[in-house]
Amino acid sequence: GISAPVVYFVDYVTNSIYLEDIVDSITVQDHIYSVQRSGNDSSNLLTLAEKMGELLARMHDEDLIHGDLTTSNILIRPPTEKLDLVLIDFGLSFISGLPEDKGVDLYVLEKAFLSTHPDTEMMFKTLLKTYAATSKKSGPVIKKLDEVRLRGRK
């Protein structure tokens, strides 16, 4: 139930994977840049944050750890206004039910978020709020996230 590019063909000889090309999509990263640059109403960004929180909650509830969550690893299908998100780049992914792994997954995104996009603390807060509301297992995960934040690095 997670939106990701369709795998069309796996070539074990050249070790290549042929994936769907999501035409005219933009990364969440580019979208945030463009909204902030245009000085437009950023409440749409909060809705985006909610959608991201929801998507990640569903992913973690399936015990899937992305491993490299950044705003350039989440695409928005056209038309952008619909905020239809697609997760990409699972090169570092693995399966785990551990709140620690999920907490770290979120921490990586938080660091990437705040270092790439200034003034987005509210966005990430909203993302976490929706994550906690959507995920059935969020309690321990958020707790671990707080612990990891205190530890300062992972």
Count of residues that interact with another protein, criterion CB under 8 A: 13
Kindly state the tokens that stand for 97: 């039910």
Is residue 134 close enough to count as binding another protein by CB under 8 A? no
Is residue 94 close enough to count as binding another protein by CB under 8 A? no
**Residues 5-24, mask of contacts with another protein (x by CB under 8 A):** -xxxxxxxx----x-x----
Identify the residue among 1, 79, 118, 152 touching another protein (CB under 8 A): 1
Report in angstroms how near the CB of residue 130 gets to another protein at its nearest.
17
Kindly state the tokens that stand for 14: 């050249």
11 catalytic? Reply is no
Residues of the shown chain interacting with another protein in the complex, contacts defined by CB under 8 A: 1-3, 6-13, 18, 20
